[in-house]
Structure 1
Amino acid sequence: MDPADGTPAAADSGDPGALRERALDTLVRARARTTLLTSCVEGPDLTGQVSPLMSPLVWDLAHIGNQEEQWLLRAVGGQEAIRPEIDSLYDAFEHPRAERPRLPLLSPAEARGYAADVRGRALDVLEGAAFHGTRLTEAGFAFGMIAQHEQQHDETMLITHQLRKGPQALTAPDPEPVPWFTGPAEVLVPGGPFTMGTSTEPWALDNERPAHRREVAPFFLDTTPVTNGAYRAFMDDGGYDDPRWWTREGWEHIRRHSITAPLFWRRDGGQWLRRRFGVTEVVPADEPVLHVCWYEADAYARWAGRRLPTEAEWEKAARHDPAGDRTARYPWGDADPGPEHANLGQRHLRPAPAGSYPAGESPLGVRQLIGDVWEWTSSDFAPYPGFKAFPYKEYSEVFFGPEYKVLRGGSFAVDAVACRGTFRNWDYPIRRQIFSGFRTARSAEAA
């Protein structure tokens, strides 16, 4: 444990053999998922664009390979470029998503061959890598960064599958059913300082750094994410028709786009149905609500007489253990996530019922802070004190500002390598295609 940080680093951060094994496992796991997501469809479903918000799946596939080539083969391995002429085609900042279908992209066969060629060479680089010497190689950071990058694109590709019209292409078992949660609706999170962010987590990205002390006033937080059933009560009470609950921008947005329910929902007589990966089903009341934008989450919270938690409040609830003023890596402690802790990694294609995973709850009794649904917070995406961009400004720095709201905790579509108690996600407040939900908070009087 670093006393300046107060949080433990990953157990294998100093063992070269363990680091190599961890890097190999995460890279192999990511590639298996990429292969699944790009092999279960063909033709226009692979090469076309289902929405201007998303890339063609074949673009994501080659982009994954190109990023791996640039960072693992060239930057770490010192190798010559395999196909330098495609760098600009797969530069996410040079070509907006809406333009990508018109680019001279690699064919599916070429993209698969290119990604496989890069991966074979990258594993050779990993075999001989020294996990020290530069910030990029320290503790295998570059390999962890690339594994996280691929898993983030896998999540994006899963969103594309959700948006795709047509028959079901992906299947997965449902989460284990649990009794309807009857625990307390909220818990008190004590006020006081805690350590936010990290300086010791070896694969943490730049926006998670550095660790710093943050003061948080006492507040109450929902024990579980807001459910479909609870959100239905907001809808049934005319929530989408009452400007009292909406910010000015939010009210203008939902009226302009005729939004009256979460994305993918539709009314059928007296019930609500949703489309989920090609299957139409009754909206389950006990699942966390999904596919709502920040404006919808904020409006629900106002209607309920509550508010969205700040990012600092969310992280304190997820990492702070009042016993000994300790800050942990995850709500349940320092151990890496297991299937008993959280719904992660596309193991299921839906959130688990509210109240699931008691083994993953925080010391204060908050559940499902990790996995299931990304949780909107009230905070704008901003750098921590002492932030330094690494290894390139375009990962985080160019996004800092009030245009983006922070989401925390991951979803069922997020792999464990890209989901920590310190991990930060961000998006525009209008976004609904992402696997986003929320929980609410309220302030408490100081003791």
Structure 2
Amino acid sequence: MTSAVAARAADTPRTAHGNGRKALLAATVGGVVESFDWAIYAVLAPYFAAAMFPGDDPVTKLLAAYVGFAVGFVVRPFGSYVVGRIADTRGRRFALTLSMAVISGASVLIAALPTAALLGAAAPVLLIVLRLVQGLSMGGENPSAAAYVTETAPRHLRFLYSSISYSGVVIGNILSFGVLTLLLVAFGEDGVRGGGWRIGFLVAAALGLLALWIRRGVEESTEFAEAGATGPTAAERRALYRANLRNMAAVFLISVGATVGYYYGTTYLPQYAQQLGVVSGTESAASMLGPLVLLVAAMVVVGRLADRLGALRTLRIGLSVLALATVPLMLALAHGALPMWLVTVVYLALIAAPIGLTNVLFAQLFPVAVRVVAMGVPYTIAIGLFGGTFPLLAQAMAKAGHLTLVPWWAAGAAAVSLAGTLLIRPLKSAER
């Protein structure tokens, strides 16, 4: 780390961050942008696929567009390592600013891309490249933000801050559906297909610029600055990775249940209910907005409880209830014993602990010098393997006539995560 950053850290009192509120805002708004950029591509794909991909078959074009969504999951672990190494050597603030600048810049370029009618095969190639770039940056975004919140939040509010910062991901999802709705109202389906979809990516870029402006106004975390002034050598860094393999395995396993639960509850549940025949497509989609808002509130409540009761205890209780309640809850939905809106509210409340607490919990398991990479790589691998593939796997089960096995898969993933908590070895103060 440069002497200039170390000097600033020496002059910065531990209370200079306004008890972490500016850092919390910087991390949360980044989660909003990351989630919005990720989701807006998926919800707009049916509208831009025909223009951006050559060929005559609309189904093939849409599938090709979804490839651009999938590749982002593939490269996220690589991005977690690349951006994470920057965060662990150059600083959290620098990495967060860099990742947001890249994400926003790529959104602007996607909005300005010429269509396949003008560029031919080059149009989809450029689109996929830009999504790869975004995926790389997004891979390091959440782990860097988690480390930053961990190092700047007041100790007695760390998990409240963890939940608030991750709520940005949920808010980004809500905003993406809101923007799509506004575009359809303003332009109609034909207008959105005719170029209105570009506005969605411009909104993403504008949100990114706002996040970039906020992040440029915050300070580096004092904890990183002090540790980074005498950072480890390459050999010492590799030794730290080896020494923390057990906790890295725990991060991976805990992330399995958290990511499956999140994608089941926020992405696939409406389609699941529709395939059960208990609601129509319109009803299932409309039933999501209120529960997603309540999910944010539930995350805040769980974060406050974790600060009082202990994060690991609260997480284990949350995962236990999630593993035990998922199948009965979905059986009640299938047999008409509970309405769709109530099942959605309850299930999203159950995933509040796994997705709200793990940000800071994971970061606390590793020394400052390797924190972002050590937590980020196993976390993003789990998301890529189990989160990005969950809708596809669930749909394959449904097609094979085994739709009722989907809740068992989600419950099993929660049980795996619960077992993963047993691997956790708390980080000693001397190792930080």
TM-score clears 0.5: no
Greater share of strand residues, 1 or 2? 1
TM-score (normalizing by structure 1) = 0.25
TM-score (normalizing by structure 2) = 0.26
